[in-house]
Structure 1
């Protein structure tokens, strides 16, 4: 058909087809190749191809850029970076340096989560005072004040007896000695939940990793039960089936004689999300324990103490934050000073900053 016999409608259709073809070609030119098999994941869960390529890079000193295309996670997490002299190659970051950097990022997230918890406590403080004086007004299905250790344990036991999913728990170090009968009761209700097919996840502080009482307790539990540890954790927290949460209403008192039973979906979801994020950052303790490597003669615990030292905290505050006693903190400070060659506390802070143990980069 000649151009003279084309109708206006036909000419518009031909023009539209031509524009669409040009757009499709331009899009294809701009598109970057992406591995269809590579899945999104975190640094703590490296994909198998990424692990193999990183091992090869560490062993050989460098790998071609093309070989890293199917595993973009290695560049994203800073495990590989371009060779300045030849951009067609990638060289690895030392595993020790990479681990330190990733752990530091994790610890910063823990501090941020702890600050969020403190802000939440400040928000609830007026409600707690109101609950102490007008318990009848605040006792609602969404938020209820529980008074007395026996009452609190009874409600927790009843809630767990009706649960079938999971128990999430944060157990910070406490100076209060728990009676044997209460420990036995808690062990029995945990066993019952596991026997019904439930699971238990618990977060402790690093200082409790080798506690004989805690390790003996896990030897008596069978089923889907795990424990992990962090330098710092939130105040005591129990979440049952992601539907009910229990938090101390008087955290300044170590006897935990006042608690909040929370059933408000938004609040329980907030607590569960906080727990999940802390869990991903934590170091496995049970059933298989992992260990922090030392760096330049400085242990992980000394690293945590050093971070708080340069913030100006006293020995007592550091001990409370890390779940340790003051004497142990001072022993670690002395060892840290010996490692860095410090002769005074003021000089120690200077040497910590100068050594780069807190901010060493690749």
Structure 2
């Protein structure tokens, strides 16, 4: 049975007086209460109904037609016991439901963790798995592919695989853009590769410095190296594993970084006769890094060249500045305001 507040009768003054009189008599007698309390029969009938509902009047055992008063605590226990039982049952039901549902909390958060990991990024430490994923995405790329490749000359086997992949994607009319470092221009194999892929429609540019290896597929999936840019190997490749990013906001950010690098890079035209201007860019970059106090090894890594080549450039710069030391070279650079003459990004060497 369901109880509500309206189902419990209100104890009014007349009913209370009638109850007191019944306690004195030991029973509830209508005529006597009418006379003693000067009440109307209707009022007494109402009082009897209220007291019965409140369990203050109960049938006498063996004589159900006789109503006798009972103590308030007995009446209370009799009146609310069913309601209390129902309340306890509901409380237990609520506790059981809460317990069963809350037991799913670890399942929910584990599922969220796995979903977020799938949607945001994966960390792949096995190079074979990374290459397999790259091959798969290269085959299923639909619209656009972009890449940033730090370092200088590309290994021969890497160039062969990249050539096959690029030509295959161009056959499917995939837009392709690559940013190398300026030092890649001096390598004959890299120049031959760039000549082949640009003839097929791939756009290639170079910059003095780039941040790290980046691969972008359809502006939906990004591959980044697991190592930081200042790791000891400094290769900027994915041989140590990759972070695969899919979360749209993170992907959009990486795409913006690529566009910034692309806008500041110089078109790579393998047969151009104006390569000395790139050498000037490299010298400017070397001067800027030297001015920051970087050692030869760090300058070489940042510019994607060997330490030996870097030192040769430094030697040439020092000679051009008629300096006998790094300090004097820096002083002469400051006097000549050479670092204020940085070329603009829009120069076309083609």
Taking structure 2 as the reference length, the TM-score comes to: 0.58
CA distance in structure 2 between the partners assigned to 1:287 and 1:183 by the alignment: 15
CA distance in structure 1 between the partners assigned to 2:321 and 2:270 by the alignment: 36
Question: Does the Cα contact within 8 Å between 1:166 and 1:200 map onto a contact in 2?
Answer: yes
What's the secondary structure of 1:342's corresponding residue? coil
2:262 counterpart residue number:
279
| 2:323 aligns with one of 304, 327, 342 | 342
| 1:258 aligns with one of 233, 241, 251 | 241
CA distance in structure 1 between the partners assigned to 2:209 and 2:255 by the alignment: 17
CA distance in structure 2 between the partners assigned to 1:199 and 1:159 by the alignment: 14
Is 1:332 the equivalent of 2:310?
no
1:171 counterpart residue number:
149
Question: Does the Cα contact within 8 Å between 2:181 and 2:207 map onto a contact in 1?
Answer: yes
CA distance in structure 2 between the partners assigned to 1:307 and 1:179 by the alignment: 32
CA distance in structure 1 between the partners assigned to 2:134 and 2:189 by the alignment: 22
CA distance in structure 2 between the partners assigned to 1:232 and 1:352 by the alignment: 21
Q: 1:294 to 1:305 in 2, by over 3 A?
A: same
CA distance in structure 2 between the partners assigned to 1:359 and 1:243 by the alignment: 39
Consecutive unaligned residues of structure 2, counting only runs of 5 or more, are 1-112, 343-350
Is 1:308 the equivalent of 2:289?
yes
Question: Does the Cα contact within 8 Å between 1:146 and 1:258 map onto a contact in 2?
Answer: yes
What's the secondary structure of 2:118's corresponding residue? coil
1:237 counterpart residue number:
214
Shift of the alpha carbon at 1:231? 0.5
Q: Which of these two proteins has the greater Rg computed from alpha carbons?
A: 2
1:202-245 residue CA offsets vs partner (Å, 9 max, x unmatched): 00000001322222223443532011001101210000111110
Question: Does the Cα contact within 8 Å between 1:138 and 1:144 map onto a contact in 2?
Answer: no
CA distance in structure 2 between the partners assigned to 1:245 and 1:354 by the alignment: 44
Is 1:143 the equivalent of 2:121?
yes
1:167-216 residue CA offsets vs partner (Å, 9 max, x unmatched): 100011179x8573x55443322222110111210000000013222222
1:56-94 residue CA offsets vs partner (Å, 9 max, x unmatched): xxxxxxxxxxxxxxxxxxxxxxxxxxxxxxxxxxxxxxx
Larger mean CA deviation between 182-191 and 232-241 belongs to 182-191
CA distance in structure 2 between the partners assigned to 1:178 and 1:357 by the alignment: 35
Question: Does the Cα contact within 8 Å between 1:243 and 1:263 map onto a contact in 2?
Answer: yes
Q: 1:334 to 1:320 in 2, by over 3 A?
A: same
Shift of the alpha carbon at 1:289? 4.5
Q: 1:174 to 1:344 in 2, by over 3 A?
A: closer
CA distance in structure 2 between the partners assigned to 1:260 and 1:244 by the alignment: 10
Larger mean CA deviation between 205-214 and 215-224 belongs to 215-224
What's the secondary structure of 2:150's corresponding residue? coil
1:29-72 residue CA offsets vs partner (Å, 9 max, x unmatched): xxxxxxxxxxxxxxxxxxxxxxxxxxxxxxxxxxxxxxxxxxxx
Question: Does the Cα contact within 8 Å between 2:152 and 2:305 map onto a contact in 1?
Answer: no
1:217 counterpart residue number:
193
Question: Does the Cα contact within 8 Å between 2:156 and 2:189 map onto a contact in 1?
Answer: no
Q: 1:152 to 1:249 in 2, by over 3 A?
A: same
Q: How is 1:24-103 mapped onto 2 (pairs within 5 angstroms)?
A: none
Q: 1:203 to 1:151 in 2, by over 3 A?
A: same
Shift of the alpha carbon at 1:288? 6.9
Q: 1:184 to 1:358 in 2, by over 3 A?
A: closer
Q: 1:294 to 1:288 in 2, by over 3 A?
A: closer
CA distance in structure 1 between the partners assigned to 2:271 and 2:175 by the alignment: 16
Q: CA RMSD in A?
A: 2.8
Q: Give the number of aligned pairs.
A: 223
Consecutive unaligned residues of structure 1, counting only runs of 5 or more, are 1-134
Q: 1:152 to 1:350 in 2, by over 3 A?
A: same
Is 1:248 the equivalent of 2:229?
no
Is 1:358 the equivalent of 2:339?
yes
CA distance in structure 2 between the partners assigned to 1:184 and 1:346 by the alignment: 44
CA distance in structure 1 between the partners assigned to 2:308 and 2:125 by the alignment: 34
